[in-house]
Structure 1
Amino acid sequence: MAGLLHQLLSVTVVLGAVQLITGYSFKNCIADPRSNGSLFNCISRKEEKMSAILHDLPTSAIHLTISKTHVKHICNYSFVHLPKLKYLRIDDNPVNTIDQSAFQNLHQLQSLNLSVNNISELNPYLFKELHNLTFLLLSDNKLKQLPEGIFSATLNLNTLNMRQNLLTNFSEIAESVSHLMNLKVLDLCYNSLTSLSHSNVSLPKSLTTLYICRNNLFTLGCKDSFLTFINILDLSYNSRLPTTAFQGVDLRRINYLRLRSTNVSVVEFLNISNVKVSQVDFSGLGLKNDSLLMELCKLLMRKVKWIKNLNLSDNGIGSLTNYTLYYCPNITGDLDLSRNKLKSTNCLSFLRRQAQIKSFNAEHNHLTSLPSCNKQTKVCLKSLEELSYRYNRILSVNSFAFFHTPNIKTLQLNINTIAFLDRKALKGLKKLVKLRLDNNLLTDLFNETFEDNNKLQVLNLRNNRISVIFNGTFLMLRNLTTLDLGGNKITHFQPSGFDGLKSLSNLYLDGNNLKHIDTSIYRVFQDTLTVLDLQSNKIRFLTENNSSPFMNLSKLSDLKLDGQRPYGMTVLPHTFFRGLYSLKSLYLTNNNIFHLPPDVFDDLTSLQFLTLDKCCVGVTQLVPGVFKNLRNLTKLTVESMGIQNFSKEVFGNLIQLSSLQLNRNVMQSIHVDALQSLPKLRYLDIRNIPLSCTCKNSLLQNWTIYNKNVQVVYLYNLQCQNDANYKFHNFKTNVCYIDLGEYLFFSTAVVIFLFTVTPLLYVKLYWKMKYSYYVFRSWFSDQWRRLREEEENCKYDAFISYNSSDDQWVMDQLLPNLEGNGSSFKLCLHHRDFELGRDIVDNIVSAVYSSRKTICVVSRNFLQSEWCSLEIQLASYRLFDEHRDVLLLVFLEPISERQLSAYHRMRKVMLKKTYLQWPDSDCTNPMQAQELFWNQLRRAMRMGSRLKMEENINNEGCVNAESEETEPFETSDEEYYLLP
């Protein structure tokens, strides 16, 4: 029960992981853009867990390749979410363990490749659900044995490859495959089998191909009928296998038997075996001299009159006489003498009785020249169609070298050291269709060289030392379709160098020293040429005003101009591609172009593939409209171009584009509208681009994750350039979705309001704000609390607040009448009682709260004084805060209502409190009025919080003291915070 629960949980986890990924991108795999989501390659990944590689693949996967990873263990249910898989490759990995249910749910799997791993053991139930498996590859592992019943469920298996393991028990293998009635191919090469002995089982009758090469067989040891149904049997490189091992073994159905590098005596073997002699491969059997070959031929002749193929390669044959193969049956197909030690073929005189031979192979020998074979040569192999002398040491090919083989169609002389090719070397080869002279040392070609080869269709002269193509060289090759002159040293062509090439469609001139493209050269190709390769030449332009060299090549479909040496093309002329209306593929990589003109691709209306990798210098600023006419382009590769602008104006017209490779460029952002303008886009590679993980890429992030039509290659591995802790697909974009318009509106409105109101507040409320600053500074320093605690033991009866201009009245009138004349009041005056060195504000605050009363001597100068204003505000603050009558106002002169309007708090105090007016000198009895004034002031200083003045003297309109009955003293919070 616990095991079942574990399985269900595993399946749930895998399926849950699949649902997390909604975008068309995969962390460790790439979907082939042409497969419609069915073919995936997971190659060269550093993941160690199979689940990490596969968790985001869709259920539509049919082909899957997992190679060159770090996976060592394939866990149970690894592929359970991929039920449609038919072809699975897990090769070239360090896999050493595969769990029993690793391939569960793969009911449709047809091909499984587990080669090149470290598998040493297989679970007997590993393939139990692979009922449709037809191809199984287990080669290059460390298997020592096969568990019983390992292939019991794979009844449709057609091919089983277990080469290059450590298998030793053939009986075990035979028993494991005996029930596979559809098995046709069994490959056991490169193991450690010592015999084919087996228990009472038979190989399936369907098995026709058995490879047991490179083992340690010293005998067959099988029943005589064990190999009855085998058609192809490879026992090569079993050096201890003797001839007697085949005694009585039924080989009648063998169509190909290979015994190379065994200890088998071929003549003895043919005498004791019932194999068809025409089906034996005689290569590598030590038949190195005439006597052995003649003995073999006589034996073959007794058994058959003709033989299709005779393979005598790798026998160490040094020479052949006219009689070596004289007694052999007629060869009607191929004679293979490759990999021997032949130094001469003597115009094939040893084949004088093999008139029906069609192919002769003398590759990998020691031939140094091909001599003249003139009319006196008695051999004439008119049936010979293919002749190969590749991989020899041929230095020269003399005249009429192939006069004895006039009808050959394919001649291979490549990969030699031919420095001399006689002008008449190819004389008489009027049926020659394909000629390979590549990879030699040829320096010159003449107009007579190919004069008889008018049926030649393919001529390969690649990698020689040809420097000039002379007039008339190819004049007779009117049927030539492919001419390969790549890898030579051609600097120019004479005016008629290409004359005669009426059918040429493929011309390869790459790797030469051409410095310009001569328009006259291609005038003969206007109706035929489809492929032109000019890679790695020395073509270079210095101005943009060069005419098009391709005007006549209206049918050209493939043009390669990559990597011009040593500086690249540098400049790409405006009209360079003019006339190429049929061009479908264009290669311009590695050319150091400084600028791509906006109209350079205008004529390429049929272009489907364009590669510009590393084509430009430095940072490339693509001009809008540069791709405007490429409406049929399906694949664009612009890697490592230094592109810094990806916009709709540049790429917006590529309406058929399906694959776009942008990796290794320098743009920091990609406009989503440019990607959205590519309706057919299915594959996007943006690796190694310094995309910034900022708000300008927030839309791109969203697009890459949720666009299900475009595969973004390895999206979930793309790093943030500015923060290595984040990946591009999950960097934070919350702040990017604030309504910036609304935010900016309110921000701007606030700023404008502040700029408008601040000057008004400064003019109207400057002192109120300054006062508030001082109040709060004192409040935060806990000054108020300390002063309130000291109030009961006040040092002064009154703090006198006055302006210095009223100093005389204070010293002459106020001070003597309150501190002298029998009065016992103690006054606080700033010039006398303030503490030296202390902050002025702290002194004022201390004076107000150290005195029972504050007397403000109000005059016009007082109202204009900053410090006086501060003092009265502090006193009024105390009045409203403590609900005590601590403030007395003394007006030295009449002050109108208008003048007091700016002092809102003072007016508020005057409405609630008594205030005193200093008698005017014009009064009828000023002395009496002054005496009454001082009495009222002394009485007010002695009174509590409520005061009612009983005297109110009016004398000739002169008010000595005015009073209003005070209302009960009440303040609200509104009044308390009402600043002056």
Structure 2
Amino acid sequence: MELNLSGIPPDVPNTTESLDLSFNPLKILTSNYFSMVPALMFLDLTRCHIWKIEDDAFMGLCNLSVLILTANPLHILGPRAFHDLRSLQKLVVVETHISRLDRLPIGHLTTLQELNLSNNHVDSLRLPEYFSQLIVLQLLSFRANKISSIFVGDLDALPSQNITLVLSKNDIKYIELNSFSGVYLQELSLRGCFGSSALMQASLQNLTGLHVNHLILGDYRNIERLETFDKALLDGLCHVWLQEITLIQIAGLYNTDRLSDCLYNIPTVRLVSIDIKEVSQLPKNSSVRHLEFKKCNLRGVPAENLSSLKNLRVLRITKNPRNLIRFAEDFKDLQNLETLDLSENSLIVNICWSSLMEEVPNLKHLNLSFNSKVVLPPECSGVSKLEYLDLQQTRLGYTGALPSFLCLRNLIYLDISYSSIHIVTECSFCGLDNLRILKMAGSSFEGNQLADNFKNLTKLQILDISSCQLKHIAPNALAQLHDLHELNISHNKLLSLDPKIYVHLHALTTLDLHSNQLATLTAQALEILPISLKYLDLSWNLFDCSCDHLSFLRWTMNHQDLLQHADFMICHSPLDLKDARLVSFDLSSCQVSKTTVAVSVITLLVLVLFAILVYKYYFHLYYMVVLLSRDRHSTEKENIYDAFVIYSSEDQEWVTQELKETLEDGVPRFRLCLYYRDFVPGVSIITNIIKQGFQSSRKVIAVVSTHFLESRWCNFELEVAQSWQLLDSKASLVLIVLEGVDKAVVRQKLGLFRYLRRNTYLVSAKMSDIQELRREFISQN
């Protein structure tokens, strides 16, 4: 629309079903104008400056059901202008300058259901003969035309008894008697048609013989043409067969005693936007079964005066938010009243179930929604027949802290949404054993968690607990609701969803969890979703789209037919994926190749093996590093000891008394490195062994005993001594094998036979042997 087009753009697909070309200067619709879009079902040509429609302009549009030609100056219409519109159901020719119906070539549109001719220049209601062919026509609107008179025969071509005829905003000055005689209408609207009360009274008198289900009379806001209203104004309706009448925007009607008695013979009476302040005593023999006061100025519910309407079944007093504030149960034995609608007022009501059951014993529907305050006391006796109770957007007193529905065992529908209820007791819904639908959005629960509050609602089918600030739902909170079909938990603060919540809900078809704080659904939660589920809404949650939740991400991809509003399932974390759509997530980013896995595993194994070897051979490695990095040009001054003694602490006495005394106390005096005496305090053992022992000594003396062979440290020191001897050609090793040591074990464990020829080897060393060792030290010096 509004693209300054003079024709249909060539890039419009031929499969297009809905096309809006409004506000484009098309001007003339030529033959086969829409041949390139044969699949159209809806076409809007509002204000396209169309003044001419040629024959066959809509050729090929066999599926078109709605055609809108509003505000086009249709001066020329070809006799086949609307040809081939075989499925047209709605034709809107509002404000098109049409003045004569016989020039509108639509007689062949046998599927037409609505014809809107509002705001044109039609000045006669005489219908052309072709109207008799429009056998399914349901709405015929002449609103705001120039019809001033209606004569006998004008409506003879009406094809159906189910038509709604709209004549509102025509300045009707005359209706000929019997013009509507024998005419059957679904609805007749005469709103704003009469310039004075006298014209209205005379015209209504001549509606004799009309059969209409619903008649609408009155004016429009700010256009009040009826200067007076008296009891006789509507007397003409006594000769009209009516099921329902709506009086709207009528000035001067302040009290119901001004209403004609004819109205009380009509089953349904609706008074809308009328300044009625009082309701007088109504006739006892009234036939009124449905009475409605909407947007009137009543100050209170006239319960006592309405009690005379013994046939009354439905009473609605609605949309008086500034005035209607009082309601007392003063009905007097309205045995037939089934529906009481007092919604959208400012009522402050203390309901007494016992009194209400006594006054209106057959009441089934009670609507007190959108009022100021309703108090439902817990005291109750008997069982009410009430089936429908609407209290939404009305502050409730005591409900939630005390059981308030004990009398309502027949209740099927209960709406207490946004009624400031705080559920404390587990018996809040006791008595509602037959409840099917419970709506309590905007309520709150003790501790923001749902417990066993619904345990007795075993027949519940629909439950709405949205916007209840719930942070937790106990696993068994809904366990008894086996018949539940719809569950709405949206707009809460749930961080996770325990699958046990719905494990017993085998009949569940709709689950709404949108606008919570869920990061994911676990594999278990997805696995036990009810097989009956058809609609699942998870939109607007705080989803974590990391690869840790790959199973959930893959599940969303495969179940888009189940998910509602999937486009609004948005990633909240990690930051690089924030605001991305889950259904567009690249699953391959979470998949690692087999090669990468193999390399990673091998690398890890190598690192683990290396760590084990380093841990096991730490001392050896450390010693090798020290030896390889030592200064090979070190001088003899570095050897401050003649020998470093390796021995077990169990042989301390022998080393001290035999070896030390012989070598250090004799002449010349030799200096030995003994760990208990010469190791530097505060330095690690391995560092002392290597630097203080091996690197500072010319020889190494190993005192081999049974304890020596069993000591890990002694074995390590001996291995270091052997490697030290290999790296340093001047180094020598003296082995002293004490008495009692098995030589075979020595050779097996230490491989000493490899060193017997190169090293000094003393077996069962005695004092003479130690002296011999002393002489060897002297000779080498």
Normalising by structure 2, we get a TM-score of 0.71
Q: CA 1:563–1:160 in 2, change beyond 3 Å: closer, same or farther?
A: closer
Please say if residues 795 and 850 of structure 1, whose CA atoms lie closer than 8 Å, have aligned partners that are also in contact: no
Please say if residues 233 and 254 of structure 1, whose CA atoms lie closer than 8 Å, have aligned partners that are also in contact: no
Please say if residues 471 and 496 of structure 1, whose CA atoms lie closer than 8 Å, have aligned partners that are also in contact: yes
CA distance in 1, matches of 2:218, 2:702: 131
CA distance in 2, matches of 1:228, 1:921: 141
Name the structure 1 match of 2:395. Answer: 538
How many Å apart are 1:683 and its aligned residue? 2.1
Q: CA 1:403–1:869 in 2, change beyond 3 Å: closer, same or farther?
A: closer
The Cα offsets for residues 44-95 of structure 1, whole Å up to 9 and x where unpaired, read as: xxxxxxxxxxxxxxxxxxxxxxxxxxxxxxxxxxxxxxxxxxxxxxxxxxxx
CA distance in 1, matches of 2:753, 2:457: 91
Please say if residues 648 and 673 of structure 1, whose CA atoms lie closer than 8 Å, have aligned partners that are also in contact: yes
**Is it true that 1:911 corresponds to 2:756 in the alignment?**
yes
**Any idea what SS the aligned residue of 2:288 has?**
coil
Please say if residues 347 and 373 of structure 1, whose CA atoms lie closer than 8 Å, have aligned partners that are also in contact: no
The Cα offsets for residues 853-880 of structure 1, whole Å up to 9 and x where unpaired, read as: 933356799x999999998765521333
| Equivalent residues in 2 for 1:879-918, closer than 5 Å | 879-881=725-727, 884=729, 886-889=731-734, 897=741, 907=752, 911-915=756-760
RMSD: 5.8
Selected match of 1:685 from 537, 540, 548: 537
**Is it true that 1:801 corresponds to 2:656 in the alignment?**
no
Amino acid at match of 1:313: S
Name the structure 1 match of 2:35. Answer: 152
**Is it true that 1:634 corresponds to 2:480 in the alignment?**
no
Name the structure 2 match of 1:177. Answer: 58
**Any idea what SS the aligned residue of 1:877 has?**
helix
Name the structure 2 match of 1:313. Answer: 168
| Equivalent residues in 2 for 1:272-311, closer than 5 Å | 281=142, 283-285=144-146, 296-297=148-149, 300-301=150-151
Please say if residues 351 and 375 of structure 2, whose CA atoms lie closer than 8 Å, have aligned partners that are also in contact: no
How many Å apart are 1:634 and its aligned residue? 0.8
Please say if residues 42 and 67 of structure 2, whose CA atoms lie closer than 8 Å, have aligned partners that are also in contact: yes
Name the structure 2 match of 1:558. Answer: 413
Q: Which has the larger radius of gyration?
A: 1
**Is it true that 1:381 corresponds to 2:238 in the alignment?**
yes
**Any idea what SS the aligned residue of 2:201 has?**
helix
Q: CA 1:667–1:847 in 2, change beyond 3 Å: closer, same or farther?
A: closer
Q: How many equivalent pairs are there?
A: 704
| Equivalent residues in 2 for 1:107-126, closer than 5 Å | 122-123=8-9
Please say if residues 598 and 626 of structure 1, whose CA atoms lie closer than 8 Å, have aligned partners that are also in contact: yes
Name the structure 2 match of 1:213. Answer: 94
How many Å apart are 1:611 and its aligned residue? 0.5
Please say if residues 152 and 179 of structure 2, whose CA atoms lie closer than 8 Å, have aligned partners that are also in contact: no
Please say if residues 383 and 409 of structure 2, whose CA atoms lie closer than 8 Å, have aligned partners that are also in contact: no
Please say if residues 471 and 498 of structure 1, whose CA atoms lie closer than 8 Å, have aligned partners that are also in contact: no
**Is it true that 1:339 corresponds to 2:192 in the alignment?**
yes
How many Å apart are 1:718 and its aligned residue? 3.6
**Is it true that 1:402 corresponds to 2:244 in the alignment?**
no
Q: CA 1:550–1:416 in 2, change beyond 3 Å: closer, same or farther?
A: farther
Selected match of 1:516 from 375, 391, 403: 375
CA distance in 2, matches of 1:411, 1:919: 132
How many Å apart are 1:430 and its aligned residue? 1.9
Please say if residues 384 and 407 of structure 1, whose CA atoms lie closer than 8 Å, have aligned partners that are also in contact: no
**Any idea what SS the aligned residue of 1:331 has?**
coil
How many Å apart are 1:570 and its aligned residue? 1.4
How many Å apart are 1:712 and its aligned residue? 6.4
How many Å apart are 1:339 and its aligned residue? 3.5
Amino acid at match of 2:174: L
Amino acid at match of 1:911: L
CA distance in 1, matches of 2:752, 2:617: 19
The Cα offsets for residues 302-354 of structure 1, whole Å up to 9 and x where unpaired, read as: 8769898986532578xxxxxx5365663346764423686757993553344
Q: CA 1:725–1:311 in 2, change beyond 3 Å: closer, same or farther?
A: closer
Amino acid at match of 2:488: T
Amino acid at match of 1:530: E
Name the structure 1 match of 2:179. Answer: 330
Name the structure 1 match of 2:454. Answer: 601
The Cα offsets for residues 386-419 of structure 1, whole Å up to 9 and x where unpaired, read as: 432224556612415122444223322123343x
The Cα offsets for residues 611-642 of structure 1, whole Å up to 9 and x where unpaired, read as: 01123x4523x233221221111110111333
Please say if residues 683 and 711 of structure 1, whose CA atoms lie closer than 8 Å, have aligned partners that are also in contact: yes
Q: CA 1:921–1:447 in 2, change beyond 3 Å: closer, same or farther?
A: closer
| Equivalent residues in 2 for 1:24-39, closer than 5 Å | none
> Which structure is higher in RCO with an 8 Å CA cutoff and minimum separation 6?
1
Name the structure 2 match of 1:504. Answer: 363
CA distance in 2, matches of 1:481, 1:934: 128
Q: CA 1:677–1:467 in 2, change beyond 3 Å: closer, same or farther?
A: same
The Cα offsets for residues 334-385 of structure 1, whole Å up to 9 and x where unpaired, read as: 76442368675799355334433453521415279985527x9975633252
The Cα offsets for residues 744-768 of structure 1, whole Å up to 9 and x where unpaired, read as: xxx9xxx9xxxxxx9xx9xxxx9x9
**Is it true that 1:195 corresponds to 2:75 in the alignment?**
yes
CA distance in 2, matches of 1:817, 1:628: 93
Amino acid at match of 1:366: E
Amino acid at match of 1:876: Q
Give unpaired runs (5+ residues) of structure 2. 133-139, 159-163, 593-603, 646-654
Please say if residues 699 and 732 of structure 2, whose CA atoms lie closer than 8 Å, have aligned partners that are also in contact: yes
CA distance in 2, matches of 1:668, 1:507: 42
The Cα offsets for residues 756-798 of structure 1, whole Å up to 9 and x where unpaired, read as: xx9xx9xxxx9x967525414415xx515x52xx49x988999
Name the structure 1 match of 2:135. Answer: none
| Equivalent residues in 2 for 1:208-287, closer than 5 Å | 211-214=92-95, 237=119, 252-253=128-129, 255=131, 281=142, 283-285=144-146
| Equivalent residues in 2 for 1:396-795, closer than 5 Å | 396-418=254-276, 420-424=277-281, 426-427=282-283, 430-464=286-320, 465-473=323-331, 475-476=333-334, 478-488=335-345, 489-493=347-351, 496-497=355-356, 499-518=358-377, 525-526=384-385, 529-541=386-398, 546-547=402-403, 549-554=405-410, 556-564=411-419, 568-594=420-446, 598-615=451-468, 617=469, 619-620=471-472, 622-644=473-495, 646-668=497-519, 670-675=521-526, 676=528, 678-692=530-544, 700-701=552-553, 703-706=555-558, 710-711=562-563, 713-714=565-566, 717-725=569-577, 771-772=619-620, 774-778=622-626, 782-783=628-629, 787=632, 790=633
**Any idea what SS the aligned residue of 2:501 has?**
helix
Amino acid at match of 1:800: D
The Cα offsets for residues 867-900 of structure 1, whole Å up to 9 and x where unpaired, read as: 9999876552133357x57414286x96663799
Name the structure 2 match of 1:204. Answer: 83
Selected match of 2:43 from 161, 170, 173: 161
Amino acid at match of 2:341: D
Please say if residues 415 and 440 of structure 1, whose CA atoms lie closer than 8 Å, have aligned partners that are also in contact: yes
CA distance in 1, matches of 2:65, 2:674: 123
Q: CA 1:583–1:355 in 2, change beyond 3 Å: closer, same or farther?
A: same
Q: CA 1:699–1:591 in 2, change beyond 3 Å: closer, same or farther?
A: same
**Is it true that 1:856 corresponds to 2:700 in the alignment?**
yes
**Any idea what SS the aligned residue of 1:427 has?**
coil
The Cα offsets for residues 561-606 of structure 1, whole Å up to 9 and x where unpaired, read as: 1111xxx221253333334333211111111221667443233222
How many Å apart are 1:487 and its aligned residue? 2.3
How many Å apart are 1:610 and its aligned residue? 0.5
CA distance in 2, matches of 1:794, 1:890: 23
Please say if residues 663 and 686 of structure 1, whose CA atoms lie closer than 8 Å, have aligned partners that are also in contact: yes
**Any idea what SS the aligned residue of 2:620 has?**
helix
Amino acid at match of 2:620: S
Please say if residues 848 and 874 of structure 1, whose CA atoms lie closer than 8 Å, have aligned partners that are also in contact: no
CA distance in 2, matches of 1:659, 1:447: 42
CA distance in 2, matches of 1:798, 1:909: 29
**Any idea what SS the aligned residue of 1:911 has?**
coil
Q: CA 1:574–1:535 in 2, change beyond 3 Å: closer, same or farther?
A: same
Please say if residues 417 and 441 of structure 1, whose CA atoms lie closer than 8 Å, have aligned partners that are also in contact: yes
**Any idea what SS the aligned residue of 2:191 has?**
coil
Normalising by structure 1, we get a TM-score of 0.58
Give unpaired runs (5+ residues) of structure 1. 1-114, 257-278, 288-295, 318-323, 736-746, 752-757, 819-826, 943-980
CA distance in 2, matches of 1:921, 1:280: 137
